Every structure is written in C-alpha cells, then in structure tokens.
Amino acid sequence: MQPIIECVPNFSEGADLAIIKQITDQVETVEGVRLLNVDPGKATNRTVVTFVGHPEAVIAAAFLAIKKAGELIDMSKHKGEHPRMGATDVCPLIPIAGISMEETAKYAQRLAKRVGEELQIPVYLYEAAQPDKTRSNLSVIRAGEYEGFFKKIKQTEWKPDFGPAEFDAKRGGTVIGARDFLVAYNVNLNTTSTRRANAIAFDVREAGRNVEENGVKVNKPGTLKSVKAIGWYIEEYGVAQISMNLTNINVTPVHIAFDEVCKKADARGIRVTGSELVGLVPLNAMLDAGKYFLKKQKRSTGVSEKELIKIAVKSMGLDELGPFKPEERIIEYMLRNKADSKLVNMSLSDFADETASESPAPGGGSISAYVGALGVSLATMVANLSSHKKGWDDRWEEFSNWADKGEQLKNELVKLVDADTKAFNQIMLAFSLPKSTDEEKAARTKAIQEATKFAIEIPFKVMQASHNSMEVIKAMADIGNPNSVSDAGVGALCARSAVMGAFMNVRINAAGYTNKEYVNDILHRGREIENKTIALEAEILKIVDGKIGH
C-alpha cells in the first residue's frame, strides 16, 4: 500500500483570505499532494489547513507553507481567541495508510530540522516526534504563548529542538510533531460568559481542575478521557463555546463529548444550542454518531450512510453556525476517486442506457452485483418497516440488527458494480499491451493472467455477498412485517439471479486462467454457493406463498 500521511498545519491568520490563499497555493504547487480543507476562523484569527499525500511530498508542501506564513504573518500584531505562539503555530503529521506512527514521526523530525536550519525559525517537536516526553505535550510547550515566548526561549529547559534559541518577533515559534487523528470540536452555548463556559470545560476535560480539600490542593479529573477543553467567547457568533480536542475518538467519540457537555451545561443552567467541527472528521465518527442518536430514539440503525450523517448533523446541531457539507468535511469523501464509482453515481435511466450501448461494459457481472444489491435492499426495507411497526416496539432492536446486516451487504454489492467493470477494463488493457519482443510478450502474458484472476474474484465476491443476503431475506419473509412479505420474495428472486449471473462470469473468465488448480477450486466453491442459494430461494418462496395465500 502506498504510504499516505495527513498534515494539518494551523496558521495564525483567520481574517485575511488573500494571505490564507497565498499559503495554500504553496501547498498545491507540490505534485502528489491533495489539499482537502481550508477552515478559517475570524474570532480565533486562525486557519486550519488539511492536505494529504505521499510523505515526501507532504513534508515538502508543509515546508513551503511554513515559509510563506512566516513571510506574510506578523505575530507582533496578532490577536485571537485561540492559544498560539507562531505564524505557523502547530504542524502535525498524521499516519493515514501504509505507514506507522514511528515512520511518521521521523518525517516530522526531518521537516522540523529543515524548518529550523533553512528558515531559522525556533522549532519544538511534540507528541510522537518528541523523544523527551517531559516536553511532548502541546499545551505545555505553548504555555505562555507568543507574549511569554521571548523569556521562555532563553530558559535552558526550553531550548528549541531545531533552529535558533532567539525570539523571532515576527514569526514566533513553531511546533511540529506526529500524532494520531485528532478531532477539533466546539460546542455552542446560549451564554456569552467565558467563565461559565470554562467551568463546563473543566467539568468534562480529562485534566479537570484543581480543588481544595482539607486545605490541600488536589486535582479533580473531568468526566471525559482523551479530551482537552477550554471555554471561550466567539465575538463572530456572539456566543461562548466549549472548544475541545478529542485526541482519541475511540475512547471518547464526538457524540459522547456532545452529550456530556449537554449534561454538564444543563446542570449549570446553560443550554447547548449546537456545535461545529473544525477541519475534517473520519466517516466512522459521523456514522457512529448517527447510530447513537437513532438508538436513543429506539429507531433502526440499518439506514444509509447519507441518512446516518443527516441524523448526526441534526442531533448535534453541526449546521447551526454554517452549512455542514459531508463531501467537504468527511475525510474519506474527500479522498474518493470519482472514477471508482462512475456507474453507481449514474441515474437509473443513464445506467440502463450505458448498459444497452455498444460498449461491452457494464456487462453481466456489474448487473448481477446491482441486482444483488436491490435484493438485499428489499429485505433491509422490510427490516426497517418491521422495526418501526406499531405494536412491535419491544422488537425494534431485533429488526434494527437485521437492517444493519442488510445495509452492510448492500454497500458491499454496490461497490462491486463498478469493481466488475474495472476488472473487465483491466483485461482489455492487458490485451492491448505491446508484444513485439520476448520480454514484452512475457510481461503481456503476466498482465493478462493477473487481470483475469481479478476478473474471476470480483464476481465470486458478488456470489458470496448475494448468498449471504439470503439469511436476511429469509428472516424477513419469516418474521418481518407480513404486509411486506412479497418484497422479501422479490428480494429472494433478485439474490438468486445475482448468484447465478455472477457465477456465469466466474466460469467464462476462469476459462482464460492457466492455473487449473485455482480454477477447479473456485468453480467447485461457486457450484456449492449456487446450489445452496437455489435451495434457499425455494424455502423463502414457500414461506412467501404460504403468507400471501392466493
């Protein structure tokens, strides 16, 4: 897997969009880097920028951005609500795929060394990139902020890791490191009081607050682990906020942080009115939130990604201060290659037209995958209807679980629609390779065999997923809402057709694969799946016919 890291530098400018654009333009000059998000804040006078790419390209882009920020931003004139100590205040690198935290930390150290030596900016390492754990915490490094930096930098224990131990009045200092994915999240309150907001922040943040017990100061931890929080007033919106960094959303997810702030605010007579995400958020964070709030309502969680995200946005008021656009705020959506989902993004009529055209793809494999997706979608619909059926309230969770299974299988089959066409195109590409020399012939033959194996595996996955969907379909025919039993029956017909159609594609592609041991094995397994599916279809149709009764 190609290594991918994310870089999320925070620049101390949130009002002048021209300055921000000059900085982000530098990022976009580097090949292999994709700028995902630019999130300026006027009140904080700070912009969070997010870009991803190969590590070498990312640190090259980060260096250029840090250099340009130092040229354009004058820290001696900077005012803002957010703690800061430099023009590029902090620049974390985050491992995304194909790379370890240890490797990412080494890239952060390389970047820090270059910034310190070539730009002569004082640089501190933090989190995983900092070998000295007594100075790895960002808030500790930044304590005193820009105003206190000219004294702090002269202290032996605060000598920069790289760059001069001299106060840079214009550019300040920079903190560069490697960390896990962090979610910056603010909760809006119906108060203008920073003191009240801070009290709530101390209630929830892991560090808590210092209290006096029997004349001795002791620390009283907050209720949320892996959460840093402060309260502040945002003049731009006229409200106070709890500003949080969720440093491990596996420990404290966004929705739990939101609910806990609601609880603590309510105890202090304050109401939460909404919230905002700063920068990007992982897809699972939004899906988990959607499911969490649906479960609180005793509603089925087996609904589409789109619906789960909508529930999350509305439940946490993520659109209170501005529109929340999933395609611009969810990291997986930003990284999507549109070419990988060309077919499924078509309208029904366009998909039919494309299938009917003289182009050989999409063919039977893609259609089988789509028919399978429709079959399990019908069963999922029955599960959702049953979960919400009047008088069946005590069974909502049972049907919700079935709907979840159906939704997962539907998503898998939908992805296989485009995957099958991609597999066919790879075979066509392999056959078009040159074959003038013995080396070219050997390379061409190898490419054809690899593409052929891929073209066997994709429809076989369609067979497996469609067969697995029969469990959901049968359950819904048997125990689901009786008014929808015919829908379960049609789902069974679709799943059977998907299995048989996909197996035809497995067989025809297997004819061109030279590894006969592999071919015999997959054909044997395919026949077993086909036979079991046909038998299940007969069982389901018997149930359906018995319930319809005509």
Residues 277 and 321 sit within 8 Å (Cβ to Cβ): no
Examine the residue annotation and report whether 420 is marked as an active-site residue of this protein: yes
Looking at residue 213, the DSSP 8-state letter turns out to be E
As a whole number of angstroms, the distance between CA 99 and CA 6 comes to: 11
Helix or strand or coil: residue 101?
A: helix
Looking at residue 393, the DSSP 8-state letter turns out to be G
Distance of CA 28 to the CA centre of its chain: 22
- Mode of pairing for the β-strands spanning 174-178 and 88-97: parallel
Pick from 394, 514, 526, 390: nearest CA to 457: 526
How many CB atoms are located within 10 Å of the residue 212 CB?
A: 8
One DSSP character per residue, 517-539 reads HHHHHHHHHHHHHHHHHHHHHHH
Say which of 161, 420, 467, 487 is annotated catalytic: 420
Helices vs strands, H then E, count in the chain: 17, 13
32: left (phi over 0), alpha (psi -120 to 50) or beta: left
Distance of CA 458 to the CA centre of its chain: 25
As a whole number of angstroms, the distance between CA 36 and CA 331 comes to: 8
155: left (phi over 0), alpha (psi -120 to 50) or beta: beta
| HEC per residue, 483-513 | HHHHHHHHHHHHHHHHHHHHHHHHHHHHCCC
Pick from 42, 47, 252, 76: nearest CA to 147: 76
What is the torsional sign of CA 109, 115, 120, 125?
negative
Amino acid at position 506, single letter: V
Say which of 82, 89, 161, 203 is annotated catalytic: 82
Distance of CA 202 to the CA centre of its chain: 29
Whether the upstream peptide bond of residue 362 has omega within 30° of 0, thus cis, is yes
Q: What is the CA radius of gyration of the chain?
A: 28
What is the torsional sign of CA 159, 162, 164, 169?
negative
As a whole number of angstroms, the distance between CA 193 and CA 269 comes to: 12
The token pair at 188 is: 């809006």
The token pair at 494 is: 């679709």
As a whole number of angstroms, the distance between CA 266 and CA 252 comes to: 20
**Residues carrying an active site annotation:** 82, 420
